[in-house]
Amino acid sequence: METIGGDLSTMAPRPFADGHLAAIRAISTSRDYGPGEVVLESGAPQDRFVLVEEGEIEVADPVTGERLHASTLKPGQFMGELAFLNGGPMTLTMRACAPTRTLEAPRSSMLRLMSEVPEIGDHVLTVFSARRRRIFEAGDSSLVVRGASRNPAVARVASFLNRNRIPFHEETEGEPQVSWSGTPIPDPTPRAVARHLGLDLTAAATQTLDLIIVGAGPAGVAAAVYAGAEGLRALVVEDCAIGGQAGTSSRIENYMGFPTGISGADLTFRGQVQAMKFGTSFAMPRTVEALARRDDGFCVTLDGGEELCARSVLVATGVQYRRLPLDRLEAFEGAGVYYAATEMEARLCSETEVVVVGGGNSAGQAAMYLSRVAKHVHVLVRAASLAETMSAYLRERLEADPRITIHTGSQLDRLDGDERLERVVVTTPSGRLSVDCRALFIMIGAAPNTDWLSGLVELDGHGFVRTGAQVGAPSSFATSCPGVFAVGDVRSG
């Protein structure tokens, strides 16, 4: 299966071509470092591109000061990883381990050069993506998440980081907490952590915008790529995680160009990197709460009250999962009740039976995925069969899997447990069934996220945005309000 980048361990270091090196030199200044001198410290913004000309740079543990890897950066190699694109902070410390001379270019100049000379951009992004993959998979980071399985707030942070492919180091033992370079982050929330990582609004707040894209599911991310490529100053505002619903899919097999499949999170993360390469900014996790028309465009109001204005707005807010009317549901959300089955949730299922509610493809994919790790998977379906709601190939896989039991004509009645979910009670055609399970996945469809549109655009009877011919507009994506467009699942029809 494809991932977010190449395998660094099999990639031979490749020097820049002479002409490209000359172009980098033209925007850089030269600097000297003595052995042991820090070049960029963990937590410092990646505000410059650093290429080693002479000497050697090592990766150091920001807490202990020890060298972290045997391999070092040698002449011709450069520092940094994908957070360079948004000026995010270093998550590890880089330090000279020999007399070292570097070429250092301001981030904005380097980004301009990468877009003007695509071969330089490709070279840098290939290495940055492979590095992100390596540090994400290895969990090498000053950002430490401890005890996620025992604390819902910490679990929410872990899920946010995981879904956004942000590297963090995970520990299972000890008091649950989230820390940065050894210092605990008080009351950790995804937003607090995002602020540390420069993912909040600061990166984009000062720009005058052509377009605000609300929502970073596949539709919003695709628009972000095209807007950037067309030279528009665009900002994407996302309230949860890049990828939207698709980000929760462990394996997408029907997307052109990925014959061996790719997870939804990796697919959309690649799109985000591509959009950032073209200059599109992202702010998250931030919710757009209202839309207002102004003389020269539109303004959106964010949670927290800030206003952002642009000539146009693209609605890409998709849909949100439906809940079940069950006592204590909210108390167990994040503590045994989930609406997505990603690697993060799967890790919590290894010692337990799992219940998946729903008869659609999302429920089917989740059941298949979880059956690899859980003791057993029960799929609860209200209808008498899956034939009407699930693709045949998926249904057949579920029916053939001895680790999965499908309960048709069944429904969930009760959730039990102290601080976490421990048991569910189900009514089946043959009577009541109690299942000891620490993970319940509710996958029963979704409703459109259109409340924030403040009545400015026409919706259909179910709350989806009417577009194109439905509102007499010339473009398929135009809404009834000129200047506001809609794409993806949020559209009617």
Ligand X SMILES: Cc1cc2nc3c(=O)[nH]c(=O)nc-3n(C[C@H](O)[C@H](O)[C@H](O)COP(=O)(O)OP(=O)(O)OC[C@H]3O[C@@H](n4cnc5c(N)ncnc54)[C@H](O)[C@@H]3O)c2cc1C
Interface residues with ligand X (CB under 6 A) are 214-220, 237-240, 244-246, 248-249, 252, 254, 287-288, 316-319, 362, 365, 449, 452, 488-490
Rounded to whole angstroms, how far apart are CA atoms 416 and 58? 51
- As measured in angstroms, the least distance from the Cβ of 329 to ligand X is 19
318 contacts 482 by C-beta, under 8 angstroms: no
Least distance between ligand X and beta carbon 112 (Å): 29
Task: Give the nearer residue to ligand X in terms of CB position, either 141 or 362.
Answer: 362
Which CB atom, from 102 or from 479, has the smaller least distance to ligand X? 479
- 50 class by beta-carbon count within 10 Å (0-12 exposed, 13-18 middle, 19+ buried): buried
Contacts of 302 (CB under 8 A, 6+ apart): 201, 237, 286, 287, 288, 289, 308
Which is closer to ligand X, CB of 122 or CB of 451?
A: 451
Element (H, E) at 343: helix 343-347
SS3 for 116? helix
Nearer to ligand X, 75 or 445 (CB): 445
Min dist CB 232 to ligand X, Å, is 18
Q: Which two tokens stand for residue 23?
A: 């172009």
CA distance 382 to 372: 24
Cβ atoms of 53 and 30 closer than 8 Å = yes
Least distance from ligand X to the Cβ atom of residue 12, Å: 35
Residue 23: strand pairing partners: none
Cα–Cα dist 216/210, whole Å: 17
Give the three-state DSSP class for 133: helix
User: Smaller CB distance to ligand X: residue 249 or 281?
Assistant: 249
Cβ nearer to ligand X, comparing 46 with 164: 164
CB of 367 to ligand X, least distance (A): 11
Pairwise CA distance, residues 470 & 476, whole Å? 9
Q: How far is the CB of 159 from ligand X (least distance, A)?
A: 13
Residue type, 93: T
User: What is the distance between the alpha carbons of residues 265 and 249, in angstroms, rounded to a whole number?
Assistant: 7
Q: Look at residues 125, 419, 396 and name the one whose alpha carbon lies nearest to residue 277.
A: 125
SS3 159: helix
Please report how close the Cβ of residue 477 comes to ligand X at its closest, in angstroms: 12
Q: Which is nearer to ligand X, 73 or 465 (CB)?
A: 465
Nearest-approach distance from CB 313 to ligand X, in angstroms: 11
Per-residue HEC secondary structure of 227-279 comes to HHHCCCCEEEECCCCCCCCHHHCCCECCCCCCCCCECHHHHHHHHHHHHHHCC
For residue 213, the minimal CB distance to ligand X (Å) is 9
Least distance from C-beta 300 to ligand X, angstroms? 8
Task: Decide: helix, strand or coil at residue 188.
Answer: coil
Question: Structure tokens of 396?
Answer: 């057949």
CB of 216 or CB of 310, closer to ligand X: 216
445: number of CA atoms within 13 Å, CB side? Answer: 5
